[in-house]
C-alpha cells in the first residue's frame, strides 16, 4: 500500500504553524533565516509529536477491532499522555505501563494521565541495580516483558482486545505520520517563500526522525533532516537504518539507506546536547529553554526539546547549519515536563533562590 493512501483519524491536528523566529535570530546576531515547526501545537492533550503517529495507530486499532491501547514509557512519558488522550477520544481503554517506582507526588504528565482516567501500572526494576552492569538491561527488559504480558492477559480475560504500542509509538504505521509531515512542510515553505536547507529534530525512540528522514527522501525535500539524541545512551544508528529500510519496504517507497546517510549531531564538551541522562535536570539545557522563552515566548522542555534546541543553536555557532541557508527547528512538544516534580524542584534552587531586591512590596 502506498503511504499516501493510508487512512488516519484526526486525533490531533496537523498543518501546525511553520513560523520565523526573528527575535531569536536577532539575539544570535543573525538576520532571519531561522524557523520553527510547531508540532507542540498538535492540540491533542496539550500537543506534541506523538499525535501524528497516533492518528495512524488509532485508525489501525479501530479498523482491527481493538478495544484498548496499552503503551510504555518513563513515568513522565509524553507519548503515554497522548496515547491516553487518543484512546479516550476514540472510546478505547487507556492502559499505561510505566518504567519506574510509583512517585509519592503526582506531577507533570502523570497528573494529566490520571485526570484522563488511564489505568496506570508502575514497573520498578531497581532490584536490577545490584546485578553486574552488563546484565542489568536484559534483566530489566525481561521483568518488563513478563509484567506486560500479565497485564495484557488480565484485560484479555475481561474480553478486551489490547493493542500493545511500543515506546514512543515507534512502528511503521506510526512513523507514517512523520513521512506525511514532509509534504506539509514543503507546501508551507512554498506558500511562505521559506528556504531551508536543514531541519533539526530530536532522536529519542527515533520514529519521528526516521519518518521525517524517509519523507525527505521519498518526497525529495529541499532540506536535510538532522537528528539530535536526547540522552547520552542513544539508540544505535544501525537500528534506525534497519527501521527506515523496513519502513521504505513496508510502504514500497523504493529506497534504502545506510548508516553513512544519516546525520546525527551529539555536540561535545559543555555542548553535549544529550545532557547527563534521560530526563535528568541540567543547567545547560535549562539555559537554552530560557533563551527560546525570552526571545520567542515559546516553551521547550527539559527532557527532549530543550536539548534539541541547544543543538540547534550550537550547530549554528559551529556552522553545521546556517541562517543564510535557512534552518528549521522541529518543536515536538513536551512542555508538561516543566512541571514534573524533579524539574520543578531543581528550578526552585536555580531560578527562584532569594527575593529580588526592590521587587516585593509589603503593605505597612
Binding site for ligand PLP (CB under 6 A): 48-49, 78-79, 168, 202-209, 301, 304-305, 332-334
C-alpha cell at 200: 533539526
Residue 121: its H or E element: strand 119-123
Q: Which is nearer to ligand PLP, 207 or 311 (CB)?
A: 207
What HEC string does 317-349 produce? HHCCCCCCCCEEEEECCCHHHHHCHHHHHHHHH
What is the nearest approach in angstroms of ligand PLP to the Cβ of residue 106?
A: 19
User: Nearer Cβ to ligand PLP, position 27 or 111?
Assistant: 111
Q: Which is nearer to ligand PLP, 33 or 307 (CB)?
A: 307
C-alpha span between 235 and 243 (Å, rounded): 12
51 CB burial (10 A radius; 0-12, 13-18, 19+): buried
Q: How far is the CB of 73 from ligand PLP (least distance, A)?
A: 8
Q: Look at the block and give the residue holding cell 479516550.
A: 88
Residue number, 80 or 326, with CB nearest to ligand PLP: 80
Q: Coil, strand or helix: which one is 194?
A: coil
Considering the complex, what minimum distance in angstroms separates the CB of residue 150 from ligand PLP? 26
Our CB check for ligand PLP shows the closer of 79 and 99 to be 79
Residue 285 CB, shortest distance to ligand PLP, in Å, is 13
Q: Shortest distance, CB of residue 110 to ligand PLP, whole angstroms?
A: 14
Distances (CA, A) of 110 to 52, 165, 192, 248, 285: 21, 18, 38, 35, 22
Residue 153 beta carbon to ligand PLP: minimum distance, rounded to whole angstroms: 27
Smallest distance, ligand PLP to C-beta of residue 292, A: 14
Which residue is associated with the grid cell 497485564?
A: 151
Q: What would the grid cell of residue 277 be?
A: 541522562
| CB closest to ligand PLP, residue no | 334
C-beta closer to ligand PLP: residue 39 or 296: 39
The least distance separating ligand PLP from the CB of residue 127, rounded to whole angstroms, comes to 27
Cell of 99: 518504567
What is the CB neighbour count within 10 angstroms for residue 105? 11
For 14-81, give the DSSP string: -S--EEE-HHHHHHTT--S-EEEEEGGGS-GGG--THHHHHHHHHHHHHHTT--EEEEEEETT-HHHH
Give phi and psi for 271, each to the nearest 5.
-105, 45
Q: Which is nearer to ligand PLP, 33 or 98 (CB)?
A: 98
Q: Is the Cβ of residue 211 or residue 326 nearer to ligand PLP in the bound state?
A: 211
Amino acid at each position: 500500500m502506498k503511504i499516501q493512501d493510508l487512512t488516519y483519524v484526526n486525533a490531533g491536528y496537523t498543518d501546525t504553524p511553520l513560523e520565523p523566529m526573528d527575535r531569536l535570530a536577532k539575539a544570535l546576531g543573525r538576520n532571519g533565516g531561522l524557523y520553527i515547526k510547531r508540532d507542540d501545537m498538535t492540540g491533542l492533550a496539550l500537543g506534541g509529536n506523538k499525535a501524528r503517529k497516533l492518528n495512524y495507530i488509532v485508525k489501525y486499532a479501530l479498523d482491527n477491532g481493538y478495544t484498548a491501547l496499552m503503551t510504555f514509557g518513563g513515568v513522565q512519558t509524553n507519548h503515554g499522555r497522548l496515547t491516553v488522550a487518543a484512546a479516550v477520544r476514540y472510546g478505547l481503554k487507556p492502559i499505561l505501563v510505566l518504567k519506574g517506582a510509583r512517585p509519592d507526588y503526582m506531577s507533570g504528565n502523570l497528573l494529566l494521565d490520571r485526570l484522563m482516567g488511564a489505568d496506570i501500572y508502575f514497573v520498578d526494576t531497581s532490584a536490577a541495580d545490584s546485578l553486574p552492569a552488563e546484565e542489568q538491561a536484559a534483566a530489566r527488559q525481561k521483568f518488563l516483558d513478563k509484567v506486560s504480558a500479565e497485564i495484557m492477559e488480565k484485560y484479555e480475560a475481561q474480553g478486551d482486545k489490547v493493542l500493545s504500542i511500543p515506546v514512543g509509538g515507534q512502528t511503521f504505521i506510526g512513523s507514517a505520520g512523520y513521512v506525511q509531515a514532509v509534504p506539509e512542510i514543503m507546501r508551507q515553505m512554498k506558500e511562505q517563500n521559506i528556504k531551508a536547507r536543514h531541519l533539526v529534530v530530536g532522536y529519542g525512540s527515533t520514529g519521528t526522525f526516521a519518518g521525517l528522514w524517509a519523507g525527505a527522501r521519498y518526497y525529495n525535500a529541499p532540506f536535510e533532516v538532522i537528528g539530535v539524541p536526547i540522552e547520552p545512551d542513544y539508540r544505535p544508528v544501525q537500528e534506525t537504518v534497519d527501521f527506515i529500510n523496513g519502513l521504505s519496504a513496508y510502504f514500497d517507497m523504493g529506497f534504502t539507506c545506510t548508516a553513512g546517510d544519516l546525520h546525527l549531531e551529539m555536540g561535545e564538551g559543555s555542548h553535549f546536547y544529550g545532557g547527563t541522562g534521560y530526563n535528568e535536570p541540567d543547567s545547560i539545557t535549562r539555559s537554552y529553554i530560557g533563551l527560546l522563552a525570552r526571545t520567542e515566548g515559546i516553551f521547550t522542555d527539559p527532557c527532549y526539546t530543550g536539548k534539541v534546541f541547544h543543538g540547534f543553536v550550537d550547530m549554528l555557532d559551529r556552522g553545521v547549519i546556517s541562517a543564510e541557508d535557512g534552518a528549521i527547528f522541529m518543536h515536538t512538544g513536551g512542555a508538561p515536563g516543566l512541571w514534573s516534580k524533579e524539574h520543578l524542584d531543581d528550578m526552585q534552587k536555580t531560578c527562584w533562590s532569594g527575593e529580588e531586591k526592590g521587587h516585593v512590596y509589603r503593605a505597612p
